[in-house]
Chain A
Amino acid sequence: MSSAAEKVDPEKVVLWAGEHEGHDVISTRTFGFWLYILSDGMLFATLFAAYGVLSYAHSYYTGPTPAQFVAPWYTFIQTMALFLSVLAYGFSMTALKHGNRAGVINGLLAASVLGVVFLGLDIHDVLRMFGMHITPWTSGGLSAFYMLTQVHAAHIFFGLIWMLVMIYQVMRKEFTEEVIGRLISLRMFWQFQAVMWVFIYVFVYLWGYMS
């Protein structure tokens, strides 16, 4: 550094960059939102921990256990709906890369519809279980089961609302840094729900079914 300082020509020295580099809005917001998503992951960690300690045989007392009410292939269809929704959102982001507004809106619409299918299957499953008198207040184990699966469903619900807002914004606004930043944040949120769903599907539904 000192040798460079000796060669500075006061007549030609550049004291600041000619172009304002600016604040990288998209990178900053994306990283900040990623940290939020990871803290959301810690919310799931506490619910997984609660389910872990409340899924012993005595947690269900003498009531029904997941082995009696989980239907693996039904929940597998739910899994496919969520994975396809995430895939459709991915296609929307590739359309965004090419500035293709119609492609972005179609991808978001497909992702929303598939998200609604996921949520509809979840609600149908809950109603089926309620019809069998398998309710959250039946036992501690069922409280933990419902809490974990329905907190995930609530994430999907709020993600869907966000998606509708983004469809409106993409239709009405230009592709500004703000709109693009929100689309990327929602992409990470949506993909992260699929990652959490893998844990829920395998360790709550499938493991519960085989136990």
Chain B
Amino acid sequence: MSHGHGSNPLAHPEVQMANNRSYVTGFIVASLLMAAATVLVSGHLLPPFALLLAITGCAGLAIIAQVYFLLHMDLSEHSIWNTVALIMFIPLFVITIGLTWWMFSQLYLRTMPMIPGMPGMH
């Protein structure tokens, strides 16, 4: 596990973890999921709420595939701290978006009058 000065930097595990099969798998999985989401939405193939759930599922799976196959996030000795940082990042990301959205949705519920000529609420 020594990769100090003098050893070949190309032998570093961060370089050696590159893997074409993994990159192609990540690409195909993410592309198929995005194509599926596009087909569902452009054809309005589901009722709105089911459609939202379906495309959310596509996005979630595509992101897991990219994070695992492309960004090499796993529990290996070399990558574990990258994975830990990512796992700790997810609640920050969700809370920032979720709480902001919740606060404003509550505000709008209590304060927004309907504006004539406005498209319907979604």
Contacts and interface: CB of A to CB of B under 8 A. Distances in A.
Contacts of B70: 86, 90, 191, 194
Contacts of A130: none
Interface stretch (A6-14, A47-55, A152-160, A163-171): A47-55
Interface string B13-31: 0111011100110110011
Contacts of B78: 27
A149 interface: no
Interface string A60-97: 11100100000011001001100110110011011011
Interface in B34-70: 34-35, 37-38, 41-42, 44, 48, 51-52, 55-56, 58-59, 62-63, 66-67, 70
Contact of A91 (B20, B31, B82): B20
B115 A198 contact: no
Interface of B: 2-6, 9-10, 12, 14-16, 18-20, 23-24, 26-27, 30-31, 34-35, 37-38, 41-42, 44, 48, 51-52, 55-56, 58-59, 62-63, 66-67, 70-71, 78, 81-82, 85-86, 89, 92-93, 96-97, 100-101, 103-105, 108, 112, 115, 117-122
Contacts, number: 179
Contacts of A175: 9-10
Contact of A21 (B2, B51, B101): B2
Contacts of A188: 71
Contacts of A180: 9-10, 12, 15
Q: Which 9 A-B pairs have the closest CB atoms?
A: A22-B4, A90-B23, A53-B104, A49-B100, A202-B59, A93-B18, A52-B101, A45-B96, A211-B122
Contacts of B4: 19-24
Contacts of A93: 15, 18
B52 to A, nearest CB: 7
Contacts of A31: 81-82, 85
A206 B37 CA distance: 8
A76 to B, nearest CB: 5
B97 A52 contact: yes
Nearest to B103: A53
Nearest to A72: B42
Contact of B71 (A22, A72, A97, A191): A191
